[in-house]
Amino acid sequence: MPKRVGVLALQGDFREHIETLNEIEGVEARLAKTQESIEACDALVIPGGESTTIGKLMKRFGLDEPVREMAEAGKPIFGTCAGMIVLAREIVGSEQWRLGLMDITVERNAFGRQVDSFEVDLPVKGIEEPVRAIFIRAPYVREAREECGVEVLATFEDRIVLCRQGNLLASAFHPELTDDRRLQRYFLEMIGN
């Protein structure tokens, strides 16, 4: 039976996530934009986009509770870029709505504006060769509460850009925009563990 991965499809680059996940054998990636579609998934991706918009739409359509229940049930959730912000417990200088599931403090647009976007080969704990990382108006984790079980998996210029807390994974960059699927496979291995 394939692993069913939902990609939150409210705003942002959800299509790119679905396409890249469906390239991996044994995965069935699908749009997740209702409570029922979220509940039917083994794992969920919260994509990049506008974190304030994603948060407002999650709240408006009542998707925050199903996602929280999914996290409590131990199902993996992967937040990329804006998804990292939505997962965070705290956001520097902002009271915007978020799920608050991960014990991290994030800073939005920490690497500059859209014109400051860049790519880099990033060493990642648990993955042999560096991963190609694309940063677009990216956040970073200013504080990862290791005493709460947050594990730092990658840094760039001494800033935390990839971390994990149990069944939650958050990246400041966009793995769906490269040809490298190792980070997606790392996430998929979290299903059932």
Q: Is 17 a catalytic residue?
A: no
The per-residue pLDDT for 2 is: 86
Q: What is the DSSP string of 60-124?
A: HTT-HHHHHHHHHTT--EEEETHHHHHHEEEETTB-------EEEEEETTTT-SGGG-EEEEEEE
The per-residue pLDDT for 186 is: 96
State the sign of the Cα–Cα–Cα–Cα dihedral 76, 29, 57, 162: positive
Q: What is the pLDDT of residues 35-83, one digit of tens each?
A: 999 999 999 999 998 999 999 999 999 999 999 999 999 999 999 999 9
Query: pTM of the prediction?
Result: 0.95
Catalytic residue among 81, 90, 146, 189: 81
Average pLDDT over residues 90-110: 93
Q: Is 81 a catalytic residue?
A: yes
Helices and strands, counts by H and E, the chain: 6, 12
Look at residues 141, 134, 176, 177 and name the one whose alpha carbon lies nearest to residue 158: 141
Whether pLDDT at 113 is above 80: no
Q: What percent of the chain has pLDDT over 90?
A: 90
The per-residue pLDDT for 70 is: 96
Whether pLDDT at 110 is above 90: no
C-alpha–C-alpha distance, residues 172 and 133, integer Å: 9
Domain of 8, in residue numbers: 3-189
Catalytic residue among 17, 41, 163, 176: 176
- CATH (domain of 97): 3.40.50.880
The per-residue pLDDT for 115 is: 65
Total of domains in the chain: 1
Catalytic residue among 17, 41, 163, 174: 174
What 3-state class would DSSP assign to 7?
A: strand
Q: Is 174 a catalytic residue?
A: yes
